């Protein structure tokens, strides 16, 4: 008499001939958990058919990679990030890359603006790139991208120049970088596909907490892919992709308009923000 | 500091607002097993990206439902079959429906042939439909489909009439049915897609053990979806979709050509087979 246990043994036995040991290890664990899940909930025919339909539709969506969004919203992407992290004491923590990164950001000089069009409240971001021993790193690259007041990244908003709110900055001989961006805003992940329906069916909102993205790279160090979150976001505790880590939450300090110490590029009548943050990298061994 | 455990708790917390309790139950178990799997194998960035690519391609294949094939080859379909089964003592066991069933088989009289073209070695199949208490069931429907010597079902082989090797038979007043089919042959599942590559990467063959399909339906009884397997198949112990159950393995009795007792439709020079099998249904309560 076949039972869930004897069936699982048959499937696992067939995987033993995998030529790659790692493939055998991964598939053995995957199949065991898949079967344990189905047996635990006593998955029905009808639910199985709904799941097959959901996965097929997720793969078929032509305009974006919906499976990445599914992985993000189930917390799997952050788990993989966590498992692979170089989480040395004092180093900047990593978070998801997200779907909106575009390589080859425009190179810009320190202190200049990433906003090629009016895009929101100006935010002057500055800091250093350091090693975990406190050494400042000269010539490190700080690659930043973010959204503005319209909640969209340049890659999503065809009315914006492709380099808008993106920039590649290089640290000076004290390890310093700076740029004039805008204060980022909360935004929803795309909800017009199967992942949007799954979020709704599980009573979840689709919002990400406002953040700037950065990848920081330096010769001799592990690069870090991270965010800086706005501490006034409503979604810090419920970011839909679970990307928030406490060490990445920062305060955008507000400044009244018209003061003489305002950075270049900010008009005399503009309210603006500043954020000072050091990125700390782990030496590659 | 985020850990795999705190991350899992965050994701599970977000699922607690699911409006449907069953959705909450299924998604909670699914997410827990998904995270446990990734943590157990320490899934890497690169493996995650390969998995996303595999799933996307599986959904995009236009000509068939590759996710059903994936579920079948991972044993999930048989597990769902097993979990939902009406496995009463003495009743016919169920197995997978498979991807080749087409509704509305041609109605045929008992004893007639399902082969509308020469399709292989003739096999005369007969038996009764019974309740678990031994009562014979008159007017039960026996819906059969199978492949022939070319390893294909009518739905796959455009050169064959669509009703070839398919038929819908009705039991007589003793509960008897019979038809002249052919002896089924072993065949591979489609291997030109991602599932084929996964089978190869895990060192598995793509073969199904030779079988006839049947769905048996009768008023007042649970219908049964099952196979009859040929006991001389090479793949009984390694059927790629794990569909074999010992009670479904049958012997096709060979008969020499030219004997006078051969059934109608078999030529005097043909070698043929016979199979006698009773289907036993569970009364619906």
The Cβ of residue B109 has, within 10 Å, a number of other Cβ atoms equal to 10
H or E stretch at A250: strand A249-250
Is residue A14 located within the same domain as residue A143?
A: no
Whether A52 and B38 lie within 8 Å, measured CB to CB: no
Domain region containing A109: 79-281
Residue range A219-233: average pLDDT?
96
Residue range A120-137: average pLDDT?
97
Query: B1 contacts in A (CB within 8 Å)?
Result: 87
Whether A84 and B38 lie within 8 Å, measured CB to CB: no
Whether B80 and A48 lie within 8 Å, measured CB to CB: yes
Whether B60 and A55 lie within 8 Å, measured CB to CB: no
Structure tokens at B124: 């005369």
On whether residue A59 sits in a domain, the answer given is no
**Cβ(A215)–Cβ(A262) below 8 Å:** no
Is residue A143 located within the same domain as residue A241?
A: yes
**Is the model's pLDDT at A127 over the cut of 90?**
yes
This prediction has a pTM of 0.87
CA torsion sign for B5, B8, B10, B15 is: negative
Is residue A126 located within the same domain as residue A199?
A: yes
- CA separation (Å) from A283 to A86, A186, B25? 10, 33, 44
- Alpha carbon distance B157, B21 (integer Å): 45
pLDDT of the residue at B144 = 98
On whether residue A158 sits in a domain, the answer given is yes
pLDDT of the residue at A63 = 64
Is residue B123 located within the same domain as residue B17?
A: no
pLDDT confidence tier of residue B86, bands split at 50, 70 and 90: low
Give the domain CATH number at B87.
2.60.130.10
> A23-59 pLDDT, tens per residue?
999 999 999 999 999 999 999 999 999 999 999 999 8
**Is the model's pLDDT at A86 over the cut of 70?**
no
> B34-60 pLDDT, tens per residue?
999 999 999 999 999 999 999 999 988
Whether A40 and B20 lie within 8 Å, measured CB to CB: no
The secondary structure of B206-237 as a DSSP string is: -EEPPEEEEEEE-TTB--EEEEEEETT-TTTT
Structure tokens at B229: 């397997």
pLDDT of the residue at A142 = 98
pLDDT of the residue at A89 = 83
**Is the model's pLDDT at A189 over the cut of 80?**
yes
- The number of folded domains in chain B is 2
On whether residue A64 sits in a domain, the answer given is no
Query: A74 contacts in B (CB within 8 Å)?
Result: 11, 31, 34
A&B contacts, CB < 8 Å: 192
On whether residue B32 sits in a domain, the answer given is yes
- B10: closest chain A residue by CA: A242
**Is the model's pLDDT at B99 over the cut of 90?**
no
- Alpha carbon distance B160, B153 (integer Å): 9
Is residue A124 located within the same domain as residue A37?
A: no
Task: For chain A, give the percent of residues with pLDDT over 70.
Answer: 99
- Mutant choice from A13, A82, A198 vs B, greatest count of B C-beta within 10 A: A82
Long-range contacts of B86-91 (CB under 8 A, 24+ apart): B86/B222, B86/B282, B87/A1, B88/B132, B88/B282, B89/B132, B90/B132, B90/B280, B91/B132, B91/B224, B91/B280, B91/B281, B91/B282
> B147-197 pLDDT, tens per residue?
999 999 998 888 899 999 999 999 999 999 999 999 999 999 989 999 999
Whether A74 and B25 lie within 8 Å, measured CB to CB: no
């Amino acid at each position: 008499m076949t039972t869930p246990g004897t069936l699982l043994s048959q499937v696992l036995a067939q995987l033993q001939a995998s030529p790659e040991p790692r493939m055998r290890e991964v598939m053995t664990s995957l199949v065991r958990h898949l079967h344990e899940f189905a047996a635990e909930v006593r998955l029905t025919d009808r639910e199985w058919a709904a799941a097959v339909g959901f996965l097929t539709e997720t793969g078929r969506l032509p305009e974006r990679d919906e499976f990445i969004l599914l992985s993000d919203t189930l917390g799997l992407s952050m788990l993989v990030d966590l498992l692979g992290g170089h989480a040395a004491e004092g180093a900047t923590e990593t978070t998801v890359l997200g779907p909106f990164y575009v390589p080859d950001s425009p190179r810009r000089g320190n202190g200049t603006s990433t906003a090629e069009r009016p895009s929101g409240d100006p935010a002057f971001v500055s800091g250093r790139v350091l090693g975990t021993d406190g050494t400042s790193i000269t010539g490190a690259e700080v690659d930043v991208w973010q959204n503005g007041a319209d909640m969209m990244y340049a890659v999503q908003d065809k009315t914006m120049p492709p380099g808008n709110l993106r920039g590649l900055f290089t640290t000076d001989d004290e390890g310093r970088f700076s740029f004039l961006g805008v204060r980022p805003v909360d935004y929803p992940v795309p909800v017009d596909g199967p992942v949007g329906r799954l979020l709704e069916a599980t009573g979840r909102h689709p919002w990400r907490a406002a953040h700037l993205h950065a990848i920081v790279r330096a010769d001799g160090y592990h690069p870090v892919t991270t965010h800086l979150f706005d501490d006034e976001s409503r979604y810090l505790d419920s970011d839909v992709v679970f990307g928030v880590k406490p060490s990445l939450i920062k305060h955008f300090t507000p400044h009244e308009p018209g003061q003489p110490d305002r950075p270049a590029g900010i008009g005399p009548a503009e309210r603006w923000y500043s954020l000072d943050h050091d990125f700390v990298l782990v030496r590659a061994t």
